[in-house]
Amino acid sequence: MKAIQFKEYGGPDVLEKADVDRPIPEQGEVLVKVTAIGVNYADTARRQGAYVIPTPLPFIPGAEVSGVVEKVGEGVDKFQEGDRVVTLIGSGGYAEYVTVDARTLIPLPDELEDESAVAIPLQGLTAYHLLKTMGRIEQGETVLIHAAAGGVGSLAVQLAKHFGAGQVIATASTAEKLALAQDLGADHLVNYTNPNWREEVMEATDGKGVDIALEMAGGNVFHETIKCMRSFGRVVIYGVASGQPAEMYPSGLMNRNLSVIGFFLPQIMKKPALLESSLQELLQLVQQGKLKLTIGGVYDLEDAAHVHELLQGRKTKGKLILKP
């Protein structure tokens, strides 16, 4: 089967087309014919050898796929050939076929397209748990969402409002991206390429600061975000897209009772009850038309290197998708 892999860490150019053996489903697994693949910052971190956990070589990236059940392994009785599904996997998604633990499969309703469905598992669950589980959002609180036009950010804007945020402040790098965030429900728009963006956030809150901030850039953005927080504020960290880790002095959090919280979705996946309930809630919101899935572009699998360039160049908005 066709796949995209890398044999060394590096830039987008290390991604290469490969012919690999089609996997065979074992006990409790199914073989899925992939129809859509979600592209995420985690894929670029894997490629650079900078992911939270080690990335073995050679490696086929891709943790988010939708498709059709092609073959069922022994011991699987909840799915059959032809079922449309979406799932999260550890790796191997940039391919025509993947084997998946049947317990992680989510059946897709007829009205939800494969391309839209693949935006839900990783980025939808990330946005959900950033706000609710880690950020502990409360009614009327003010939320600052960086990269608000991206895959996670565009969903987080909507979910923050759904969870009762009194004010959502969205940052992005262009007027077009800020317009998208506004259409999704953001109350205040801030271009973070403006060196005075922190002052704009403070003005929007009458100098009080924000209760929750979702931060994935790192570097100076992290430090400026800390300065935007009000007492008892929570900064939830879920990435270092700038490639510049930020140094932090814990004693600096004390005078305002601030919390800096790390988030890694695979830890949520180890709690099946929490994972299933949140995923079902997200699917219901999509079906009810209360959560809009923004597709930023659909590309051929062979264009994976180009898509990585676009993603890391901050030239995209919404969810990026590959198709075999």
DSSP 215-284: E-SBHHHHHHHHHTEEEEEEEEE---TTSBPPP--GGGGGGGT-EEEE--HHHHHT-HHHHHHHHHHHHH
Per-residue pLDDT, 16: 98
How many CB atoms lie under 10 A from the CB of residue 116?
20
Task: Tell me the one-letter amino acid at 27.
Answer: Q
Packing angle, helices 219-227 and 197-204, rounded to 10: 30
DSSP assignment letter at 123:
I
Contact 64, 118 (CB under 8 A): yes
Contact 67, 88 (CB under 8 A): no
How many CB atoms lie under 10 A from the CB of residue 292?
16
Per-residue pLDDT of the chain (324 residues; tens, 9 = 90+): 999 999 999 999 999 999 999 999 999 999 999 999 999 989 999 999 999 899 999 999 999 999 999 999 999 999 999 999 999 898 999 999 999 999 888 898 888 889 988 988 889 999 999 999 999 999 999 999 999 998 899 999 999 999 999 999 999 999 999 999 999 999 999 999 999 999 999 999 999 999 999 999 999 999 999 999 999 999 999 988 887 888 888 898 999 999 999 999 989 888 877 888 898 899 889 988 999 988 889 999 999 999 999 998 877 777 899 999
C-alpha dihedral, 70 to 73 to 76 to 79, nearest 10° = 0
* DSSP bridge partners of 150: 318
DSSP assignment letter at 126:
H
Identify whether 266 is preceded by a cis peptide bond (ω within 30 of 0): no
Give every CB contact of residue 296 below 8 A, 6+ residues apart in sequence.
151, 316, 317, 318, 319, 320
| 164-190 CB burial, b ≥16 within 10 A, e <16 | ebebbbbbbbeeebbebbbebbbbbbb
DSSP assignment letter at 213:
E
What is residue 164's three-state secondary structure?
A: coil
Per-residue pLDDT, 271: 85
Residue 243 falls in which region: left (phi positive, over 0), alpha (psi -120 to 50) or beta: left
Per-residue pLDDT, 224: 97
Q: Structure pTM?
A: 0.86
* DSSP bridge partners of 65: 37, 87
What is residue 288's three-state secondary structure?
A: coil
